[in-house]
């Protein structure tokens, strides 16, 4: 589906509402909807909008009764068995507590540094290529970050890794934050504060 109806409002790359971005992606690239979400969590993408829930829901720490426990890098799905997949991975790292507290700490404390997180991204991309059928759609939400005083452009890494594994980068959307907490040390900042994240759209070739 490479075009939209003439009476449809033009779809733009930038939006401040992630649900509208997802609806635009579905309209343009996977009108059958999203079939699989391997990082489902509580399903906020779907619960707070009119977006249909995926048939397959997975998460390392299931938050709903119909979510199957599984790591996104090792999904219990057959080869070339699904048409579309939404991936919303963590982008935070560096928990130092032996036993992190809270949902975020529990879910993501295994990633001690960005390179660990990126290695997991790479494994997941390979797995998604396996389970998606030819011309299947992969949607990835990601955010760049600064760690140890260094820029880490995750969206560039994910795009390069996806292309290396046989995906074609078909589209890119930018989600602009309406508001964001400002750190106490912003007066001595060395990098611009990030007020945006990305939705990347890939096609399996």
Rounded distance between C-alpha atoms, residue 72 and residue 128, angstroms: 8
Give domain status of residue 79, yes or no.
Answer: yes
- Within 10 angstroms of residue 18's Cβ, the number of other Cβ atoms is 18
What is the model's pLDDT at position 4? 53
What is the model's pLDDT at position 193? 81
What is the model's pLDDT at position 1? 45
| 38, 45, 101, 161 from 109: Cα distances, Å | 18, 23, 9, 24
Instruction: Show the domain range for 141.
Output: 28-204
Rounded distance between C-alpha atoms, residue 199 and residue 121, angstroms: 15
Give domain status of residue 55, yes or no.
Answer: yes
Query: 3-state class of 196 per DSSP?
Result: strand
66's CB contacts (< 8 A; 6+ apart) are 57
Give domain status of residue 36, yes or no.
Answer: yes
Domain count, the chain: 1
Give domain status of residue 5, yes or no.
Answer: no
Give the DSSP H or E segment for 135: strand 132-142
Give domain status of residue 97, yes or no.
Answer: yes
What is the model's pLDDT at position 90? 83
Q: Average pLDDT of each block of 10 consecutive residues along the chain (205 residues)?
A: 61 96 97 97 89 96 95 98 95 55 52 87 98 98 87 96 98 89 62 90 97
Contact 3, 164 (CB under 8 A): no
Contact 140, 122 (CB under 8 A): no
What is the model's pLDDT at position 181? 58
Give domain status of residue 137, yes or no.
Answer: yes
**CATH, residue 164:** 3.40.50.150
Give domain status of residue 11, yes or no.
Answer: no
What is the model's pLDDT at position 5? 54
């Amino acid at each position: 589906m490479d075009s939209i109806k003439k009476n449809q409002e033009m779809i733009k790359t930038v939006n401040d509402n992630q649900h509208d971005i997802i609806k635009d992606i579905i309209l343009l690239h996977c009108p059958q909807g999203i079939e699989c979400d391997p990082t489902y969590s509580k399903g906020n993408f779907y619960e707070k909008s009119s977006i249909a829930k995926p048939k397959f829901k997975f998460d390392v720490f299931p938050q709903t009764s119909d979510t199957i426990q599984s790591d996104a890098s090792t999904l219990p799905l057959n080869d070339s068995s699904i048409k579309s997949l939404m991936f919303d991975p963590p982008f935070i790292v560096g928990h130092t507590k032996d036993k992190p507290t809270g949902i975020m700490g529990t879910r993501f404390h295994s990633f001690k540094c960005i390179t660990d997180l990126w290695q997991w991204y790479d494994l997941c991309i390979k797995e998604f290529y396996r389970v998606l059928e030819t011309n299947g759609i992969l949607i990835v939400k990601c955010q760049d970050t600064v760690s140890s005083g260094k820029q880490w452009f995750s969206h560039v890494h994910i795009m390069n890794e996806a292309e290396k594994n046989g995906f074609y980068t078909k589209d890119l959307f930018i989600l602009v934050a309406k508001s964001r907490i400002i750190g106490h040390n912003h007066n001595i900042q060395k990098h611009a504060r990030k007020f945006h994240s990305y939705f990347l759209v890939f096609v399996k070739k």
